[in-house]
Structure 1
Amino acid sequence: MDFDDSHEEAVYRQQVRQWLAEQAPKWAQPVGRKETEAQKMTRARGWQSLKSAHGYVGITWPVEVGGVGGNPIEQVIFSQEESRYNVFVTPFQVGMGMCVPTLYTYMPAEQAMRYVRPAMRGDEIWCQLFSEPAAGSDLAGVRTRAVRQGNEWVVNGQKVWTSYANHSDFGLLLARTDSSVAKHKGMTMFFIDMRTPGVEVRPIRSMTGHTDFNEVFLTDVRIADAQRLGEVGAGWRVALTTLMHERLAIGKAADAPGVDQLISLAQEVCSGGVPLLDNASIREAIAQVYVNDAGLEFLRMRAQTALSKGQEPGPEASIGKLVMARTRQQVGALGMDLLEADGLDSENPKVSPFQYYYLFAPGLRIAGGTDEILRNIIAERVLGLPSDLRVDRDVPFNEIK
């Protein structure tokens, strides 16, 4: 494992760090300031546009589709440095990290540029229409159907937990086109305009009060066969391409509270005139957070080392997501516990970061692979344990009970 950048990486990091120091503070949200959804989206689009104009969007994308043509380690370095600022990038993560790379992989370059460049500038947002009420962790269980009629497909079904669908212009859609074959063989991938007649988006208000997640209902939605990505029935292969392009975000969110915030809070809050930090059990709980974060940092370094050598990070990366989501929830709970009854005051700027991550973390533990799925990956692909029995592997989808 390498703990230091190579000479070329260090030069690039310094270039990125200097540019961000000059530009990012203008687009970062001041701590404690409340924003409307519209204000956040305006800030996100402005920051995306500025990054694109200076070559910090599509860093690893091919030049022929409008990308920078850089390498994965440069994307990692930029993501690491950007995470130091409270800029709002979430609405573009799925599109930039997964949807658009899939699009240009399965579409002629000249055609792909119509969609790539507006997405890079932040003019258009993409979402991923994968998960369904009966197909979350088992993505191959999708029941949304696409029936061919001439040069068109008619789609009916429902998607759920679709991030930022309420702000999206386009989406990648995985649908079942053949129920008479095994579930992994009967799906096809499309992209759709979210304004197409028959597409209805219903925001889901989460415990945080936000509407990042959505239900999407598709009723007799007609899409052209030209919007198909890959061959008919090869949707699973295309979906794997999408997941392989998942964003190389090796770093935590800028606004996520951690050890420093917990120590500061435990020094300020007193019990019987004595700071809580003097309590051994409090110090032990904070130390556990430190240990978790240190382990995550070493995992990030391992992944970064692999990328620096031109290799792909291994399945060990699943450990990082599993530990990160649980740790953020533990940090939120500990921060609120330290404040006792005041921990329920969402208007208190000391409380709000802890409260937000306490409420947000359960969703984080589901998104991008549930804890249970990640444990299976670790067990099978890292530890070499026997795989789960999959009794429906070769059964036609319409015969699965």
Structure 2
Amino acid sequence: MPDTDADTDTDQLRDSDQPGDPDQLRDPDQLRGVVAGFLRRHDRTGDRTAFLRARFDAGLAWVHHPVGLGGLGLPWHLQAVVDDEFTRAGAPDNRPRRNSIGLGMAAPTLLRHGTPQQQRRWLRPLWTGEEIWCQLFSEPDAGSDLAAVATRAERSGDGWLVDGQKVWTSLAHRARWAILLARTSSTGRRHAGLTYFICDMTAPGVQVRPLRQLTGEAEFNEVFLTGVRLPDAMRIGEVGEGWQVARTTLMNERVAIGGRPLAREGGMIGVLTDVWRRHPEIRRTGPHQDLLRLWVRAEAARLTALRLRQQLVAGQPGPEGSAVKLSFAELNQLISGLEIEVRGAAGLRHDDWTMRRPEEPDLLGRTAAYRYLRARGNSIEGGTSEILRNVIAERVLGLPSEPRVDR
């Protein structure tokens, strides 16, 4: 396993930061006391990274994680208690939107399928934001049909040599690590020939190129892998069982994209309702009825996503995440379309076509035209809407699957 400056022995915690009795900490007031004690012992105005490392080591990063892996073995809902106390104190957070793939996809996959050594190596710098992650899954001929992955990983001594091309890779230009799905066998069923790896994005043979999109930005990348050497210690799960590991990633990805925790009227529906309230001159009966219908759908989707996130943290990921992501994509496109309609000609002005390489899309802070253009991608990223409907039909509703030819 490669070493970096971020490596640490999490067993060597200060006595004052050792967690208390988990049963007592289930009481929110007791947990608030733990946070208060931590804040007294650590300077929240000093070194940001040192503060976040200490918070992780104290089990106050992901309270539902096991002790030693950023948590206290507590129920998931108590995370809100901890986060609220840190926010109220003005403590620095880990800038979660900078590392959405690491936090939303890589971390739950490592927690479920990684070895203890892998968990200790990667979870801490992932949570603190010291190491950014990206996802090397989709390929030019394997996007919706992910089982068609052609990137190959060949045995080479005590490791692997990887060759192939990945595409639509967010954050690849900033990432230190990537979750990688590669083909290790061409015999038998396609799903059975895949293996899951962690790829060092700074390794020789990794080339990242920007992909400029409809908004003018290059939020995504294409990644070329040429003779990239990976130690076997960077394999997650058994050889040939990458599809099972990838399913954990995909279920969490769809919730990460469509199920982010929001307050009522959070997200794009909040932008639209704010426009409606501030501009009485745009109000008409038809759009008003459309706005009300979208508001109700957005609130139902928000509550469904909240429930699903609780199931995921409880170790019960399921295909229901496809419905959340599907709803998110459709709602964003309908909401952005209605915003363009009510704004009229003013809504068509795009603020800037400058070539940028942002860390994430800014659906709330840019113009209506940007939101409309960027929302087109919501029904593609994280699984196309067509594929998600198949997942819902077959795995949620129990309908018969379509006849398929296994290549």
Q: Could you say whether these structures have the same fold, taking a TM-score greater than 0.5 normalized by the shorter chain as the test? A: yes
Q: CA offset at residue 388 of structure 1? A: 1.6
Alignment partner for residue 323 of structure 2, among 291, 314, 319?
319
Q: Is the 8 A contact 1:66 1:113 kept in 2?
A: no
Alignment partner for residue 267 of structure 2, among 256, 265, 274?
256
CA deviations 1:82-106 (Å, max 9, x no partner) are 99xx995333221122213333544
Q: Does 1:135 align with 2:145?
A: no
- Kindly tell me: are residues 202 and 68 of structure 1, through their superposed partners in 2, closer, same or farther at Cα, counting changes over 3 Å? farther
Q: Read off the aligned partner of 1:328 and give its amino acid letter.
A: N
Q: Does 1:221 align with 2:221?
A: no
Q: Is the 8 A contact 1:332 1:356 kept in 2?
A: no
Q: Is the 8 A contact 2:95 2:129 kept in 1?
A: no
Aligned partners of 1:337, 1:46: CA distance in 2, in Å? 48
Aligned partners of 1:345, 1:53: CA distance in 2, in Å? 48
Q: Read off the aligned partner of 1:63 and give its amino acid letter.
A: V
RMSD over aligned CA atoms reads 4.0
Percent same amino acid at aligned positions? Answer: 40
- Kindly tell me: are residues 119 and 350 of structure 1, through their superposed partners in 2, closer, same or farther at Cα, counting changes over 3 Å? closer
Alignment partner for residue 370 of structure 2, among 333, 356, 371?
356
1:148-297 matches, within 5 Å, as 148-246=155-253, 249-252=259-262, 256-258=267-269, 260-269=270-279, 275-277=281-283, 279-297=284-302
Alignment partner for residue 369 of structure 1, among 383, 387, 392?
383
Q: Read off the aligned partner of 1:61 and give its amino acid letter.
A: H
Alignment partner for residue 308 of structure 2, among 303, 309, 316?
303
Aligned partners of 1:122, 1:240: CA distance in 2, in Å? 24
Structure 2 length-normalised TM: 0.73
The 10-residue stretch of structure 1 (164-173 or 67-76) with the greater mean CA deviation from structure 2: 67-76
- Kindly tell me: are residues 299 and 146 of structure 1, through their superposed partners in 2, closer, same or farther at Cα, counting changes over 3 Å? same
Aligned partners of 1:371, 1:81: CA distance in 2, in Å? 38
Q: Is the 8 A contact 1:180 1:186 kept in 2?
A: yes
In the alignment, what sits opposite 1:328? 332
Q: CA offset at residue 305 of structure 1? A: 7.2
Q: Read off the aligned partner of 2:288 and give its amino acid letter.
A: R
In the alignment, what sits opposite 1:5? none
Q: Is the 8 A contact 2:181 2:197 kept in 1?
A: yes
Structure 2: 5+ residue stretches without partners: 1-24, 40-47, 88-92, 353-362
Q: Is the 8 A contact 1:255 1:353 kept in 2?
A: no
Q: Is the 8 A contact 2:251 2:319 kept in 1?
A: no
CA deviations 1:64-90 (Å, max 9, x no partner) are 33444333334578899999xx99533
Q: Read off the aligned partner of 1:155 and give its amino acid letter.
A: V
Q: CA offset at residue 167 of structure 1? A: 0.7
Q: Is the 8 A contact 1:61 1:101 kept in 2?
A: no
Q: Secondary structure at the match of 1:172?
A: strand
How many aligned positions are there? 355
Structure 1: 5+ residue stretches without partners: 1-7, 23-43, 393-399
Aligned partners of 1:105, 1:125: CA distance in 2, in Å? 20
Alignment partner for residue 381 of structure 1, among 395, 401, 404?
395
- Kindly tell me: are residues 70 and 212 of structure 1, through their superposed partners in 2, closer, same or farther at Cα, counting changes over 3 Å? farther
Q: Is the 8 A contact 2:268 2:335 kept in 1?
A: yes
- Kindly tell me: are residues 267 and 91 of structure 1, through their superposed partners in 2, closer, same or farther at Cα, counting changes over 3 Å? closer
Aligned partners of 1:176, 1:236: CA distance in 2, in Å? 10
- Kindly tell me: are residues 320 and 82 of structure 1, through their superposed partners in 2, closer, same or farther at Cα, counting changes over 3 Å? farther
Q: CA offset at residue 315 of structure 1? A: 3.6
Q: Is the 8 A contact 1:204 1:211 kept in 2?
A: yes
